[in-house]
Amino acid sequence: MIDEMPWHELNRDGELTIRSSDPFSRGLETSLRQTLYAWNHVRCDMVVEPYVDISKVIRHSGFGISIAGDTILQGEGNDISSHRYSDQLATEEDLARLRVPDIELDVAATAAVEAMAHECLDGLLDVRMQGHVPWFSMWDDIEQLRSAESILYDLIDRPEFLLAIAERMTDVRLAELDILEEKGLVGYGNDRIHCTGAHTDELPAAGFDAARPRAKDSWTYGMAQLFVSVSDQMWSEMEIPSALRFDSRFGLGYYGCCDPLHDRVKWIRQIPGIRKLSMSAWSNIARGAENIGPDFMFSRKPNPAMVAMDEWVPELAVMDFEDVLEVTKANGCPVDFALKDISTCRSDPRRLWEWSEIAMRMVRG
């Protein structure tokens, strides 16, 4: 699959030009045009369902502390930006500010959105009203409230304080999940999980009720990318206890993102329901395949820099596929590929088109 594309660079022939004027229909048209673009140019093993998911309007009060800092935008139309965060959780007193959110379904606004969706789509596609599918990138959240520097210093200076933050954040997120379940606001039926396919016959769980989905009817995913620079033991102490508490509520799970996890598989195995492990461009793929074996999906994230260089060199994509397919075959690993985090293709969409052609040729042998 190809996901997270630089849409602001791809509209060569008007395929992505939005013609709607109403804000709701513009959002819907954007999504549909992007789906058609992907189908026409970078299809790979893409699946398009006969429905459109429309988000229910859920009012969420937040967790009591807001992100503060500076943001640097990367250019018009680009949703990638750089951040410098201020520490909002520097003391025990600050920790007490983290609170369980108030969550309510805005019934009137949801009914209005659903009516507009039907007006646009009836006779063409079904409408499926969706709740929120929570994921657990706790340390990404904490990093935005503190800054990477503050956390990394506290790993040495105040590890007990960091563990207290992790415990409190996990308590709050689990309470949030309880509220979503109680009010029937959990999403379900994911067809993707973290930019990869999520189709499965293991979900939903027995006793499923579409009017009141539960966490165990859905996938979730988690990561702790901040800890790529710390020891495996320290990462496991800071991350795994909280991941166990949260992820065990869900039916199935995906773990990891850009973090290299090749030597951390033994700890991730403790998390029930894990089916996919991210193997990023910074992973040792041979060790990762050996440690994963046939037990989980080796979810490969090729380096998106290959489509962002001064010149497009297709042979680099071929070499990446060859290397991964060799080690996964040798170790009996199921494998998928997801080219993602593509902030630029140098305004040359054909790089992505060619990557998709290479992908399908390589995986079909």
Instruction: Report yes or no on 194 lying in a domain.
Output: yes
Q: How far is CA 128 from CA 39, 191, 210, 280, 358, in A?
A: 21, 13, 11, 33, 34
Q: Rounded to 5 degrees, what angle do the CA atoms 355, 359, 365 make?
A: 145
Angle between helices 107-121 and 23-41 (to 10 degrees): 50
The DSSP-derived string for 266-310 is: HHHTTSTTEEEEEE-TTS-HHHHHHHHTTSSEEEE---GGGGTSS
pTM of the model: 0.93
Total domain count, the chain: 1
- pLDDT at position 245: 97
Secondary structure (3-state) at 96: coil
365 vs 360: CA distance, rounded Å: 9
Report DSSP letters for 39-59, one per residue: HHH--TT----SEEEEE--EE
Contacts of 97 (CB under 8 A, 6+ apart): 64, 65
- Rounded to whole angstroms, the maximal C-alpha distance in the chain is 62
* Residue 240 host element (H or E): helix 232-247
**Cα gap 240→222, rounded to integer Å:** 10
Q: Which long-range contacts (CB under 8 A, 24 or more apart) does 146-153 make?
A: 146/85, 146/87, 146/88, 146/89, 146/90, 147/69, 147/84, 147/85, 147/86, 147/87, 148/85, 148/226, 150/87, 150/90, 151/226, 152/226, 152/229, 152/230
Containing structural domain, residue 350: 7-363
Residue 115 in domain: yes
Sign of CA dihedral 203, 134, 36, 355: negative
CA distances from residue 205 to 70, 194, 220 in whole angstroms, order as listed: 43, 21, 14
2: in domain: no
Burial group, residue 247, by CB count within 10 angstroms (0-12, 13-18, 19+): buried
At residue 77, the pLDDT reads 66
Give the three-class secondary structure for 133. Answer: coil
Contact 252, 217 (CB under 8 A): no
Query: Average pLDDT for consecutive 10-residue bins of the chain (365 residues)?
Result: 95 95 96 98 96 97 90 72 89 94 98 98 97 94 94 96 97 98 95 95 96 96 93 95 97 96 96 96 97 98 97 98 98 97 96 98 93
The torsion region of residue 56 among left (phi > 0), alpha (psi -120 to 50) and beta comes to: beta
Give domain status of residue 1, yes or no: no
> Looking at residue 217, which CATH number applies to its domain?
3.20.20
Helix (H, G, I), strand (E, B) or coil at 158: coil
| Crossing angle of the two packed helices 285-292 and 314-330, in degrees rounded to 10 | 30
Assess if residue 334 is contained within a domain: yes
Is residue 201 assigned to a domain? yes
- Residue-level pLDDT at 81: 78
As a whole number of angstroms, the distance between CA 174 and CA 250 comes to 11
The reported pLDDT for the residue numbered 69 is 85
Tell me the C-alpha distance between 6 and 19, whole Å. Answer: 20
**How many CA atoms lie less than 13 Å away from 354 in the CB half-sphere?**
14
Q: Give the span between the Cα atoms of 104 and 219, in whole angstroms.
A: 23
Cβ-proximal residues to 253 (8 Å cutoff; 6+ apart), any chain: 219, 220, 221, 222, 247, 271, 272, 273, 274, 275, 276
Question: Residue 32 burial (CB < 10 Å; 0-12/13-18/19+)?
Answer: middle
Question: Does residue 257 sit within a domain?
Answer: yes
